[in-house]
């Protein structure tokens, strides 16, 4: 691969404007692409064919409708030389993995003008492992201006044809997330890639809790193709709630009671991001009022732990989390409540019941009820992976399988409950306890049967007095205090998500604060 001479530099250019390749981009051995692709990807009508130098070898390069493939040009060789056949194996990349293309030129200190053309640089995003992408570059070296111009224009035409790719994004950045490194991460690693891809961005750095919600209520979103969150799961939940609330208002729906919400108009991107996929979302309501959209919730121990942590925000996040956990465990008390739920029935199960011919068995509107002393209730529409629960708070849940995990911890001794909590951090099954019950559900109603929640902090003053008739809920890390029954309903595929990173929610203050 040609390199810049001493005293000179090599850069990728487009339209004569100098632009350095992103610092994160690094050349990856071409064998990696071949190992990740299937032969059928190279099919399609041939658009161009020519000779380029790739990885110090002259190659026969073919550009088709869906892939770019190349093979080293074979010189005369002895018959039956199988070793050389392996070296000349065809390799290819899929065009959907290319996010930008630029002309590659060399500049020297004494040189003036547009520099010496070296060829074409392709900027590529490859799936390295589950939920992780690797940006890379592939250089097609050819010194002919005319030859490269034809190929460059064809690549640009192909990339412009990907209609689902964003051209303008609203970026909402929480500077307090990722150990206060979110701003640095965005401007050093993310923004250069967006700029290379030619995506316009409008960045807002949040200044207070609820800033994103108030911003998205009034912001003109017509000019954007999506909203990107650079922050933890608390920020992601707030932005998702704002986008869905905005969609209900735009559709003319009453937001005090939302029974059948419409889908969000714009997709939500999370950093790091990847492919687009739909995500299930929950609505949280009382008997007469809509509360919010969200993805997960805790009632009982999880809610009280967050309520305690919120009263000590002068502490660092880790300190107030640990303090709240110890305090809540020291005064561990169950809630006397009634839990009603609608079990999830898959389409396959419904079909099997129809075959059995029983009309009664086909109905999925068969609520079940549990009553008694409950230490904690978890309702999860996503797995909620985090540092203290590497398998997730609900490891069997997926982003868009149309169901929620209902996890109920009945009353037990403090040592046994602590064992249950510690299991989340290990590879052992955290649900393998006689007092823990798990269900796969579509809807849940939680109704406390006592008049008020226990006050774990006698010196809480006016705050305790104002909240004495309310029960604390932890909804995506936000404290929601409710005096009556809460109805949680799942709505399948309600918002689109760039990437699957919500499975890896890892803000230590959110749902993992009860661990």
Helix (H) / strand (E) element for 350: namely helix 347-356
| Integer Cα distance of 229 and 212 in angstroms | 10
Are 59 and 87 in contact by the 8 Å Cβ rule? The answer is: no
pLDDT band at 387 (very low <50, low <70, confident <90, very high): confident
Distance CA 137, CA 160 (A): 19
Whether 109 shows a pLDDT value over 70: the answer reads: yes
321/310 Cα distance (integer angstroms): 9
pLDDT digits (tens, 9 = 90+) for 114-168: 788 999 999 998 877 665 778 899 999 999 999 999 999 999 999 999 988 999 9
* Residue 170: strand, helix, or coil: strand
Residue bearing the bigger pLDDT, 428 or 353: 428
The backbone region for 179, taken as left when phi is positive above 0, alpha when psi lies in -120 to 50, beta otherwise, is left
What is the arithmetic mean of pLDDT over 468-476? 88
| Tens of pLDDT, residues 312-332 | 989 888 899 899 999 999 999
And the tokens for 167?
A: 């051209």
Q: Which residue has the tokens 């064998």?
A: 31
CA dihedral sign, ordered 145, 151, 157, 160: negative
Percent of the chain clearing pLDDT 90 (strictly above): 55
Q: Which residues pair with 509 in a beta bridge?
A: none
pTM of this structure = 0.76
Band (295; pLDDT cuts 50, 70, 90):
very high
Q: What is the mean pLDDT of the chain?
A: 82
**8 A C-beta contact, residue 294 and residue 281:** yes
Which structure tokens are listed for 360?
């009664």
For residue 71, give Cα distances in angstroms to 45, 52, 313.
Answer: 18, 10, 61
Is residue 508 within 8 A of residue 336, CB to CB? The reply is no
The dihedrals phi and psi of 188, each to the nearest 5 degrees, come to: -95, -30
User: If you average pLDDT over residues 28-37, what whole number do you get?
Assistant: 42
Q: Which residues pair with 284 in a beta bridge?
A: 292, 488
Give the least confident one: 64-68, 75-79, 232-236, 490-494. 75-79
Instruction: Please give the DSSP secondary-structure letter assigned to residue 42.
Output: G
Count Cβ atoms below 10 Å from residue 208 Cβ, excluding itself.
7
Q: What is the layout of strands, in order, in the sheet containing 132-141?
A: 17-19, 8-14, 98-108, 116-129, 132-141, 46-54, 57-64, 67-72, 91-94
* Structure tokens, 428: 């052992």
b/e 345-363 (16+ beta carbons within 10 angstroms → b): beeeeeeebeeeeeeeebe
For residue 334, pLDDT over 90 is answered with yes
167: left (phi over 0), alpha (psi -120 to 50) or beta: alpha
* Block residue for tokens 């009632």: 299
CA dist., res. 308 & res. 296, Å (int): 19
Please report which confidence band the pLDDT of residue 515 belongs to, taking 50, 70 and 90 as the band edges: very low
Res. 385 pLDDT band, cuts 50 70 90: confident
In tens, the pLDDT along 191-204 reads: 999 999 999 999 99
Residue 27 structure tokens: 């050349």
The tokens of 477 are what?
């890390």
Residues 6+ apart with CB under 8 A from 319: none
Confidence band (pLDDT; 50, 70, 90) for 514? very low
Distance CA 510, CA 213 (A): 18
With a cut of 70, say whether residue 393 has pLDDT above it: yes
Cβ-contact 123, 26 below 8 angstroms: no
DSSP structural state of residue 261: P
Name which residue leads in pLDDT, 123 or 501: 123
Mean pLDDT lowest among 28-42, 107-121, 343-357: 28-42
Q: Flag the least confident range among 7-11, 74-78, 136-140, 387-391.
A: 7-11
The answer to whether the beta carbons of residues 56 and 221 sit under 8 Å apart is no
Composition of the chain by helix, strand, coil, percent to 5 = 30, 35, 35
Which 3 state secondary structure label does DSSP give 95? helix
* C-alpha dihedral, 190 to 196 to 200 to 205, nearest 10°: 20
């Amino acid at each position: 691969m040609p390199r810049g001479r001493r005293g000179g530099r090599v850069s990728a250019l487009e339209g004569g404007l100098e632009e350095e390749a992103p610092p994160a981009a690094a050349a990856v051995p071409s064998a990696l692409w071949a190992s990740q692709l299937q032969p059928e990807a190279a099919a399609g009508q041939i658009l161009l064919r020519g000779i380029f130098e790739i990885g110090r070898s002259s190659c026969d390069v073919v550009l088709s409708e869906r892939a770019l493939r190349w093979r080293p040009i074979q010189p005369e060789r002895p018959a039956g030389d199988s070793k050389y056949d392996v070296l000349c194996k065809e390799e290819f990349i899929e065009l959907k993995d290319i996010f930008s293309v630029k002309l590659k030129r060399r500049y020297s200190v004494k040189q003036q003008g547009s520099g010496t053309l070296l060829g074409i640089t392709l900027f590529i995003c490859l799936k390295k492992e589950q939920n992780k992408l690797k940006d890379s570059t592939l250089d097609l070296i050819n010194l002919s201006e005319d030859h490269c111009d034809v190929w460059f224009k064809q690549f640009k035409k192909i990339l412009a044809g990907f209609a689902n790719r964003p051209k303008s994004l609203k970026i909402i950045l929480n500077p307090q997330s990722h150990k206060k490194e979110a701003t640095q991460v965005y401007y050093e690693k993310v923004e250069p890639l967006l700029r290379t891809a030619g995506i316009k961005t409008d960045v807002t750095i949040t200044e207070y809790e609820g800033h994103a919600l108030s911003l998205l209520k009034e912001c003109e979103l017509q000019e954007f193709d999506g909203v990107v969150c650079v922050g933890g799961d608390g920020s992601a939940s707030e932005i998702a709630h704002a986008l869905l609330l905005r969609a209900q208002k735009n559709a003319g729906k009453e937001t005090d009671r939302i029974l059948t919400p419409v889908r969000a108009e714009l997709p939500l991107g999370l950093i790091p991001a990847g492919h687009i996929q739909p995500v299930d979302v929950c609505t949280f309501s009382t008997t007469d009022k809509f509360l919010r959209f969200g993805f997960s919730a805790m009632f009982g121990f999880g809610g009280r732990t967050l309520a305690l942590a919120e009263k000590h925000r002068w502490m660092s996040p880790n300190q107030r989390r640990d303090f709240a956990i110890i305090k809540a465990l020291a005064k561990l008390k169950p809630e006397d409540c009634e839990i009603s739920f609608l079990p999830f029935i898959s389409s396959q199960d419904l079909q099997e019941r129809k075959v059995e011919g029983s009309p009664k068995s086909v109905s999925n509107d068969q609520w079940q009820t549990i009553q008694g002393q409950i230490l904690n209730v978890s309702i999860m529409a996503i797995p909620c992976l985090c540092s203290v629960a590497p398998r997730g708070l609900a490891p069997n849940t997926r982003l868009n399988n149309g169901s929620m995990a209902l996890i109920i911890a009945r009353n037990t001794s403090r040592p046994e409950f602590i064992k249950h909590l510690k299991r989340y951090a290990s590879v052992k099954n955290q649900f393998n306890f006689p007092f823990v019950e798990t269900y796969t559900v579509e809807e849940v109603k939680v109704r406390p049967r006592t008049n008020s929640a226990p006050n774990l902090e006698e010196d809480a003053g006016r705050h305790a007095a104002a909240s004495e008739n309310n029960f604390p809920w932890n909804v995506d890390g936000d404290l929601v205090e409710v005096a009556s029954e809460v109805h949680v309903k799942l709505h399948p595929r309600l918002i689109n998500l760039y990437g699957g990173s919500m499975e890896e929610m890892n803000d230590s203050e959110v749902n993992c604060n009860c661990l």
